[in-house]
Structure 1
Amino acid sequence: FLTNRFHFHWRWFWDHGSGELGAWGSQLLDVARWGLNIEWPQRVCAVSGQRVIGDEAETPDSLHVQFEGGDKTIVWEHRTWSNHAPEGRTAGVAFFGERGTLVVDRGGWKVYGQKDAAAEGASELLEPHLRNFIDCIRTRAVPVCPLETGHVSSALCHLGNIAYRIGRSMNVDPRSGAISHDADAERLARVEYRSPWTAALA
């Protein structure tokens, strides 16, 4: 019996969880994709592993994933054991440009220019996002983040985890998000159902 498999910690086991990347990734990768106007990557590579915590968990406690798409790259990093939050934010997205850097999270934003002092602003982003979702349930309107957009951001989390688990980079079809010519990766992208259960595609 492993207490680590229950309550919050169930997410650290591949049978029923997707690690820190799956827990936070879709929310943060969604913002990164929106800011860079990226749909699917062409190549995904991941490195790291169980570096510090050393418990029974299967998912990595630190991870670095690169989603490469043409001339744009999204980099995901997490260290679940670290007590130092970059830019003073426990989670967020940074856009690095030629003339400055923009850091965004649910509580606001901060811009670092090349020479100018940093500018920043605060806003509560979570409540309006939840309100939009509830309103769209009631009205049947399309939410600010459509289902298809959420699907791509969630799928990137799975692609990153698969690249980590196979231990090498993998190519992705930039039109569909399908894994290209890698039997090991394709196997991890599918779920084997126990008989008599099956998954019907709509």
Structure 2
Amino acid sequence: MQRRVEAAGRQEGNVRDSTRRTFAAGIAAGSAASAWSSPLSQGANDRVRVGLIGCGGRGRGLWRTFLSKSGVEPVAACDVYEPFLSRAVGASEGKAMPFRDFRHLLDRKDIDAVIIASPDHWHALHTVMACRAGKDVYVEKPLCLMPHEGRAMVTAARRYNRVVQVGSQQRSGAHYAHAIELIRGGAIGAVHHITTHWTRNMMPGFRPVEIGSALPPTLDWDLWLGPAPKVAFDPFRCIYNYRWFRSYSGGQMTNWGAHSLDIARWALDAKAPDAVASFGARFVLNDGGETPDVQQTIYSFPGCVVSWVSREASAGNTTLLDFHGTKGTMTLTREGFSVAPEIWTGAGANGKDPAMEPLKELGGDLDSSHIDNFLACVKSRRRPNADIEEGHRTAVMCQLGNAAMRTGRVLRWDPEAEVVIGDAEANAALRWDYRKPWTLAE
């Protein structure tokens, strides 16, 4: 049976109905209870006044999508780099008040929600301080650098009763929800292996393109560093390429790993893996970066092995996310999913007949759907599709991968205490101290 949904609206309706029936029984592990919130109503009192913190490439993209929504009113934008800030203000047609220091933006009483698209090392502070200021938050992934930051973000969201949506937009994809339903329902057979990948060829390496070698007066370097260690200005450490430095990010393990591993964990309905091993290094990209250009991480879950591969020096032909079932293999991407039937060749099987019929379904606009869900939850006060707790659990998976690689050991995680069991070195690798005066404490 070929299943293809050509129109996004028709697809969402079909998936919403089946998802509600299945997830209502508790399969959704909490997040899907609000997975299909009512759309925003169209009234004068339904406006959501928003501010943007972090006006770079991803921030501008989110800003445009937010501002395209009915009832969204731009109030302020913030960035430590003036050209990015100017572009964001321009995108709001001059309606957004510009700020260099995010604390001044958070002081505004006329902001209901903030979009946080700053560099990763800032996410925890920006989110916690926004919650304290009474703002709802849409925060980009990777959620943060270390587990204790993620837990502080969850605590702040709950303490101040804030809606906090993580930018894992695949959680709001109708075809992703249907794929999870099919997998959990056994449509592709038993799944004991999930493979996730992010590969490309960036040879011979990265280089700064936005800013030259000299510190420009349009960039507040000390405020860009914020809680990170004080270092001399280096144009390669900021804008996009900050991702390759451990003081600011976790490389592709946390960048793209946060997307694919989130869906794998969702499908397994699991809080965390039992054990993690990882290997990798920066073998060939000699551009000054620190994070691996090749990394392979293996996660052990009850009844399933999940693997993550990132590779920056050879694209190959791997797909982003595959669920290997005994009846069929599902390839799941943002454009949709397809299931290729397996053929059983063991004892008693004829080795010819497929174990199931092929399946196929198209995807939709994930960013738009994810932002719709956030805005609806700002009004309803329900938990969003990618609630901060779920984002934290996925971030921990990625952080454990990097810690396992750095220690060279298999790590066993206690998801309740949120510590590596019996490994002081690994637990030390999963913490970092903020540069004064920055702190997550009240």
Distance in structure 2 (CA, Å) of the matches to 1:83 and 1:77: 11
Q: Which residue of 1 aligns with 2:409?
A: 168
Q: More deviation in 24-33 or 124-133?
A: 124-133
Verify: 1:186 aligned to 2:427, yes or no.
Answer: yes
Question: Any conservation in 2 of the 1:41–1:177 contact (CA below 8 Å)?
Answer: no
Where 1:44 maps in the other structure, the secondary structure is strand
Q: Which residue of 2 aligns with 1:120?
A: 360
Q: What code does the residue aligned with 1:96 have?
A: H
Distance in structure 1 (CA, Å) of the matches to 2:316 and 2:307: 19
Q: What code does the residue aligned with 2:338 have?
A: K
Q: Which residue of 2 aligns with 1:109?
A: 337
Q: Which residue of 1 aligns with 2:241?
A: 9
Q: Which residue of 2 aligns with 1:99?
A: 327
Deviation by residue 1:16-53 (Cα, 9 ceiling, x = unmatched): 11101111122211110111222111111001211232
Percentage of matched positions with identical amino acids: 31
Shift of 1:176: 4.2
Deviation by residue 1:102-140 (Cα, 9 ceiling, x = unmatched): 111111001111144853221115132232122212332
Shift of 1:168: 1.7
Question: Any conservation in 2 of the 1:40–1:152 contact (CA below 8 Å)?
Answer: yes
Distance in structure 1 (CA, Å) of the matches to 2:317 and 2:374: 29
Where 1:148 maps in the other structure, the secondary structure is helix
Q: More deviation in 101-110 or 166-175?
A: 166-175
Shift of 1:2: 3.9
Question: Any conservation in 2 of the 1:44–1:170 contact (CA below 8 Å)?
Answer: yes
Q: More deviation in 134-143 or 115-124?
A: 115-124
Structure showing greater radius of gyration is 2
Q: Which residue of 1 aligns with 2:309?
A: 77
Verify: 1:155 aligned to 2:396, yes or no.
Answer: yes
The Cα RMSD (Å) is 2.0
Q: How does 1:15-94 map to 2 (within 5 A)?
A: 15-87=247-319, 92-94=320-322
5+ residue gaps, structure 2, are 1-232, 344-353
Question: TM-score, length-normalised on structure 2?
Answer: 0.42
- Number of residue equivalences: 197
Where 2:337 maps in the other structure, the secondary structure is strand
Q: Which residue of 2 aligns with 1:132?
A: 373
Q: More deviation in 9-18 or 48-57?
A: 48-57
Shift of 1:196: 4.6
